[in-house]
Chains A and B, each alone.
Chain A
Amino acid sequence: MAKTIRSKAKAKNGMVDVKVLMKHPMETGLRKDKDGNQIPPHFIQSVTATAGDAVVFSAEFNTSVSKDPYLAFAYAGEKGSALTIAWSDNTGATDSADVKVK
Protein backbone atom coordinates (compact mmCIF):
# COMPACT_ATOMS: atom_id res chain seq x y z
CA MET A 1 0.00 0.00 0.00
CA ALA A 2 1.26 3.37 -0.93
CA LYS A 3 1.97 5.87 1.79
CA THR A 4 -1.39 7.33 2.74
CA ILE A 5 -0.68 8.71 6.19
CA ARG A 6 0.91 12.08 6.84
CA SER A 7 1.28 12.97 10.46
CA LYS A 8 2.99 15.42 12.76
CA ALA A 9 3.37 14.91 16.48
CA LYS A 10 4.75 17.63 18.69
CA ALA A 11 5.44 17.41 22.43
CA LYS A 12 4.78 20.43 24.59
CA ASN A 13 4.38 20.59 28.38
CA GLY A 14 4.06 16.82 28.68
CA MET A 15 1.29 16.59 26.05
CA VAL A 16 1.77 15.42 22.50
CA ASP A 17 -0.32 17.18 19.85
CA VAL A 18 -0.95 14.94 16.90
CA LYS A 19 -2.24 15.91 13.48
CA VAL A 20 -3.01 13.26 10.90
CA LEU A 21 -3.99 13.50 7.25
CA MET A 22 -5.00 10.30 5.49
CA LYS A 23 -5.34 10.00 1.76
CA HIS A 24 -8.57 8.16 1.06
CA PRO A 25 -11.55 8.66 -1.30
CA MET A 26 -14.14 8.24 1.53
CA GLU A 27 -16.81 7.20 -0.96
CA THR A 28 -20.24 7.31 0.73
CA GLY A 29 -22.02 4.77 -1.43
CA LEU A 30 -24.71 7.36 -2.18
CA ARG A 31 -23.01 8.92 -5.19
CA LYS A 32 -23.56 7.88 -8.76
CA ASP A 33 -21.08 7.90 -11.60
CA LYS A 34 -21.64 9.45 -15.05
CA ASP A 35 -23.67 6.46 -16.24
CA GLY A 36 -25.95 6.51 -13.22
CA ASN A 37 -24.35 3.51 -11.54
CA GLN A 38 -24.08 3.63 -7.79
CA ILE A 39 -20.47 4.04 -6.64
CA PRO A 40 -19.92 1.47 -3.87
CA PRO A 41 -18.99 2.75 -0.41
CA HIS A 42 -15.28 2.87 0.28
CA PHE A 43 -14.32 4.63 3.46
CA ILE A 44 -12.03 4.43 6.47
CA GLN A 45 -13.80 2.85 9.43
CA SER A 46 -11.26 2.94 12.16
CA VAL A 47 -8.11 4.81 13.08
CA THR A 48 -5.89 3.77 15.95
CA ALA A 49 -2.99 5.57 17.58
CA THR A 50 -0.63 3.44 19.64
CA ALA A 51 2.14 4.84 21.83
CA GLY A 52 4.41 2.20 23.29
CA ASP A 53 2.05 -0.73 23.93
CA ALA A 54 -1.01 1.34 24.77
CA VAL A 55 -3.74 2.57 22.47
CA VAL A 56 -3.93 6.27 23.37
CA PHE A 57 -6.62 7.25 20.90
CA SER A 58 -8.93 5.54 18.47
CA ALA A 59 -11.66 6.79 16.19
CA GLU A 60 -14.43 5.26 14.14
CA PHE A 61 -15.43 7.07 11.00
CA ASN A 62 -18.71 7.01 9.18
CA THR A 63 -19.26 8.02 5.56
CA SER A 64 -19.88 11.63 6.61
CA VAL A 65 -16.21 12.20 7.31
CA SER A 66 -14.72 14.26 4.48
CA LYS A 67 -12.52 12.91 1.70
CA ASP A 68 -8.86 12.66 2.74
CA PRO A 69 -9.76 12.69 6.45
CA TYR A 70 -8.09 15.00 8.91
CA LEU A 71 -7.82 14.10 12.55
CA ALA A 72 -6.20 15.86 15.48
CA PHE A 73 -5.92 14.76 19.09
CA ALA A 74 -3.55 14.94 22.06
CA TYR A 75 -2.20 12.64 24.72
CA ALA A 76 0.33 12.68 27.56
CA GLY A 77 3.75 11.80 26.20
CA GLU A 78 7.34 12.86 25.76
CA LYS A 79 9.52 14.09 22.93
CA GLY A 80 11.36 11.30 21.11
CA SER A 81 8.78 8.62 21.97
CA ALA A 82 7.29 6.41 19.31
CA LEU A 83 3.77 6.67 17.93
CA THR A 84 2.08 4.42 15.41
CA ILE A 85 -1.01 5.44 13.49
CA ALA A 86 -3.02 2.88 11.57
CA TRP A 87 -6.30 2.89 9.66
CA SER A 88 -8.52 0.25 8.13
CA ASP A 89 -11.37 0.72 5.68
CA ASN A 90 -14.55 -1.17 4.81
CA THR A 91 -12.84 -3.16 2.05
CA GLY A 92 -10.29 -4.53 4.51
CA ALA A 93 -7.44 -2.33 3.27
CA THR A 94 -5.12 -1.01 5.94
CA ASP A 95 -2.12 1.25 6.28
CA SER A 96 0.04 2.29 9.18
CA ALA A 97 2.85 4.74 9.81
CA ASP A 98 5.39 5.26 12.54
CA VAL A 99 5.59 8.84 13.68
CA LYS A 100 8.44 10.33 15.66
CA VAL A 101 7.28 12.68 18.41
CA LYS A 102 9.18 15.96 18.02
Chain B
Amino acid sequence: MDRRSVLRAISGAVVAAIALPRMAWASWSESAMKANESTAAMNELFGTAENVASAEVKLKAPEIAENGAVVPLEVSTSLPAEQIAIFIDKNPSPLAMTATFGAGAAGLVKTRVRMGETSNVVAVVKSGGKLYSASQEVKVTIGGCGG
Protein backbone atom coordinates (compact mmCIF):
# COMPACT_ATOMS: atom_id res chain seq x y z
CA MET B 1 0.00 0.00 0.00
CA ASP B 2 1.49 3.34 -0.94
CA ARG B 3 1.27 6.54 1.03
CA ARG B 4 -1.56 8.00 -1.05
CA SER B 5 -3.97 5.10 -0.67
CA VAL B 6 -3.30 4.92 3.07
CA LEU B 7 -4.15 8.58 3.44
CA ARG B 8 -7.28 8.17 1.35
CA ALA B 9 -8.43 5.23 3.44
CA ILE B 10 -7.89 7.16 6.67
CA SER B 11 -9.70 10.28 5.50
CA GLY B 12 -12.59 8.16 4.22
CA ALA B 13 -12.95 6.45 7.57
CA VAL B 14 -12.83 9.75 9.44
CA VAL B 15 -15.53 11.27 7.24
CA ALA B 16 -17.73 8.21 7.71
CA ALA B 17 -17.23 8.28 11.48
CA ILE B 18 -18.23 11.92 11.71
CA ALA B 19 -21.15 11.73 9.33
CA LEU B 20 -22.78 8.47 10.47
CA PRO B 21 -23.85 9.02 14.09
CA ARG B 22 -25.30 12.40 13.22
CA MET B 23 -27.32 11.23 10.23
CA ALA B 24 -28.53 7.88 11.49
CA TRP B 25 -31.77 7.91 13.48
CA ALA B 26 -32.00 11.68 13.09
CA SER B 27 -35.29 12.84 14.58
CA TRP B 28 -36.86 9.47 13.96
CA SER B 29 -39.51 8.51 16.53
CA GLU B 30 -37.72 5.30 17.39
CA SER B 31 -39.68 4.33 20.50
CA ALA B 32 -43.03 4.73 18.72
CA MET B 33 -41.83 3.03 15.54
CA LYS B 34 -40.46 0.06 17.46
CA ALA B 35 -43.49 -0.42 19.70
CA ASN B 36 -45.13 -3.77 18.96
CA GLU B 37 -48.68 -2.77 19.77
CA SER B 38 -50.85 0.08 18.42
CA THR B 39 -51.88 1.63 21.74
CA ALA B 40 -48.29 1.63 22.99
CA ALA B 41 -47.10 3.18 19.72
CA MET B 42 -49.78 5.86 19.99
CA ASN B 43 -48.74 6.64 23.55
CA GLU B 44 -45.10 6.93 22.53
CA LEU B 45 -45.90 9.15 19.58
CA PHE B 46 -48.59 11.45 20.90
CA GLY B 47 -48.22 11.04 24.67
CA THR B 48 -51.76 9.71 24.78
CA ALA B 49 -53.81 7.02 23.07
CA GLU B 50 -57.11 8.74 23.68
CA ASN B 51 -58.81 9.37 20.37
CA VAL B 52 -62.32 9.89 19.07
CA ALA B 53 -63.62 8.40 15.86
CA SER B 54 -64.48 11.28 13.56
CA ALA B 55 -66.29 11.52 10.25
CA GLU B 56 -63.90 14.33 9.37
CA VAL B 57 -61.07 11.84 9.08
CA LYS B 58 -61.25 9.88 5.86
CA LEU B 59 -59.31 6.68 5.36
CA LYS B 60 -59.33 5.22 1.89
CA ALA B 61 -58.14 1.63 1.83
CA PRO B 62 -59.05 -1.45 -0.19
CA GLU B 63 -61.45 -3.88 1.48
CA ILE B 64 -59.46 -6.77 0.14
CA ALA B 65 -55.78 -6.41 -0.63
CA GLU B 66 -54.69 -9.08 -3.06
CA ASN B 67 -51.04 -8.31 -2.46
CA GLY B 68 -50.11 -7.47 1.12
CA ALA B 69 -46.75 -6.11 -0.02
CA VAL B 70 -48.37 -3.09 -1.63
CA VAL B 71 -51.55 -1.81 -0.02
CA PRO B 72 -52.48 1.70 -1.18
CA LEU B 73 -53.74 3.97 1.60
CA GLU B 74 -55.04 7.50 1.56
CA VAL B 75 -55.79 9.61 4.61
CA SER B 76 -57.41 13.00 4.33
CA THR B 77 -59.08 15.32 6.77
CA SER B 78 -60.96 18.60 6.75
CA LEU B 79 -59.64 19.33 10.25
CA PRO B 80 -56.64 21.67 10.58
CA ALA B 81 -54.20 18.80 10.96
CA GLU B 82 -50.76 19.00 12.52
CA GLN B 83 -49.92 15.37 12.04
CA ILE B 84 -51.32 12.14 10.61
CA ALA B 85 -50.20 8.69 11.72
CA ILE B 86 -51.15 5.34 10.24
CA PHE B 87 -51.34 2.24 12.42
CA ILE B 88 -51.70 -1.33 11.18
CA ASP B 89 -52.76 -3.25 14.27
CA LYS B 90 -51.47 -6.72 13.35
CA ASN B 91 -48.10 -5.71 11.86
CA PRO B 92 -44.99 -6.48 13.97
CA SER B 93 -44.51 -2.70 14.34
CA PRO B 94 -47.99 -1.21 13.96
CA LEU B 95 -46.97 2.40 13.37
CA ALA B 96 -46.40 2.46 9.61
CA MET B 97 -45.73 6.13 9.05
CA THR B 98 -46.33 9.64 10.27
CA ALA B 99 -46.83 12.78 8.22
CA THR B 100 -46.23 16.22 9.67
CA PHE B 101 -47.69 19.26 8.00
CA GLY B 102 -46.04 22.64 7.64
CA ALA B 103 -47.84 25.92 7.03
CA GLY B 104 -50.08 25.74 3.99
CA ALA B 105 -50.07 21.97 3.68
CA ALA B 106 -53.33 20.18 2.99
CA GLY B 107 -54.43 17.49 5.47
CA LEU B 108 -53.73 14.74 3.01
CA VAL B 109 -51.29 11.90 2.59
CA LYS B 110 -51.17 8.92 0.23
CA THR B 111 -48.75 6.07 0.44
CA ARG B 112 -48.38 2.32 0.02
CA VAL B 113 -47.73 -0.05 2.91
CA ARG B 114 -47.03 -3.69 3.64
CA MET B 115 -49.48 -5.80 5.60
CA GLY B 116 -48.56 -9.18 7.02
CA GLU B 117 -52.13 -10.36 7.52
CA THR B 118 -55.73 -9.18 7.61
CA SER B 119 -55.83 -6.30 10.05
CA ASN B 120 -57.54 -3.17 11.16
CA VAL B 121 -55.93 -0.03 9.75
CA VAL B 122 -56.27 3.08 11.89
CA ALA B 123 -55.62 6.62 10.70
CA VAL B 124 -55.09 9.13 13.49
CA VAL B 125 -55.17 12.87 12.93
CA LYS B 126 -53.73 15.26 15.48
CA SER B 127 -55.60 18.55 15.38
CA GLY B 128 -55.56 21.24 18.03
CA GLY B 129 -53.79 18.89 20.45
CA LYS B 130 -56.55 16.27 20.17
CA LEU B 131 -56.62 12.97 18.33
CA TYR B 132 -59.28 12.00 15.81
CA SER B 133 -59.38 8.68 14.06
CA ALA B 134 -60.89 6.55 11.34
CA SER B 135 -60.40 2.84 10.90
CA GLN B 136 -61.12 0.11 8.42
CA GLU B 137 -60.39 -3.57 8.17
CA VAL B 138 -58.30 -4.64 5.20
CA LYS B 139 -58.39 -8.31 4.27
CA VAL B 140 -55.09 -9.64 3.03
CA THR B 141 -54.96 -12.75 0.89
CA ILE B 142 -51.18 -12.86 0.38
CA GLY B 143 -49.03 -11.45 3.17
CA GLY B 144 -46.40 -8.81 2.50
CA CYS B 145 -43.85 -9.78 5.13
CA GLY B 146 -41.24 -12.44 4.58
CA GLY B 147 -42.88 -13.56 1.33
Are A54 and B103 closer than 8 Å at their CB atoms? yes
Complex interface: chain A residues within 8 A of B115 (CB): 64
**In the complex, what distance in Å separates the CA atom of A94 from the CA atom of B88?**
27
Q: How near does chain A come to B68, taking the closest CB pair, in angstroms?
A: 10
A46 touches B112 (CB 8 A): no
Tally A-B pairs: CB < 8 A. Answer: 119
**Contact of A96 with B by CB under 8 A:** no
Whether the pair A59, B99 counts as a contact (CB closer than 8 A) is yes
The answer, yes or no, to whether B33 is at the interface (CB within 8 Å) is: yes
Give, as a whole number of angstroms, the nearest-CB distance from B61 to chain A: 14
Interface size (B, Cβ < 8 Å)?
Answer: 42
* Of B29, B93, B102, the contact of A57 (CB 8 Å cutoff): B102
Given contacts A56-B104, A75-B104, contact A66 B113 (CB under 8 A): yes
Contact at A55–B146, with CB atoms within 8 Å?
no
Given contacts A74-B105, A92-B19, contact A69 B26 (CB under 8 A): no
A4 contacts the other chain (CB 8 A): no
Number of interface residues of A (CB under 8 A): 35
Q: How many Å from the CB of B105 to the closest CB on chain A?
A: 4
Please tell me if the beta carbons of A64 and B111 are within 8 angstroms of each other in the complex: no
Residue among A28, A69, A77, A94 facing the most chain B CB atoms (10 A cut-off): A28
Instruction: Find A69's partner among B25, B33, B105, B112 (CB 8 Å cutoff).
Output: B112
With A and B bound together, what is the CA distance between A92 and B100 in angstroms?
A: 21
Among A31, A61, A72, the most chain B Cβ lie within 10 Å of the Cβ of A61
Residues of B within 8 A of A45 (CB): 25-26, 28
Residues in chain A near residue B103, CB distance under 8 A: 54, 56
A residues 63-93 with Cβ under 8 Å of B? 63-67, 69-77, 88, 90-92
Q: Does B130 contact A (CB under 8 A)?
A: no
Could you tell me which A residues sit within 8 Å of B by CB distance? 15, 28, 30-32, 45-46, 54-67, 69-77, 88, 90-92, 94
Q: Which 3 A-B pairs have the closest CB atoms?
A: A76-B104, A92-B23, A72-B110
Report which B residues bind A (CB closer than 8 A): 19-20, 23-29, 33, 69-72, 88, 91-93, 95-106, 108-115, 144-147
**Cross-chain pairs A/B with CB under 8 angstroms, 29 sampled:** A28-B145, A30-B146, A31-B145, A31-B147, A45-B26, A46-B27, A46-B28, A56-B105, A57-B102, A58-B102, A60-B29, A60-B98, A61-B96, A64-B91, A64-B96, A64-B115, A65-B111, A65-B114, A66-B71, A66-B112, A66-B113, A70-B111, A71-B109, A72-B110, A73-B110, A75-B104, A75-B106, A76-B104, A90-B28
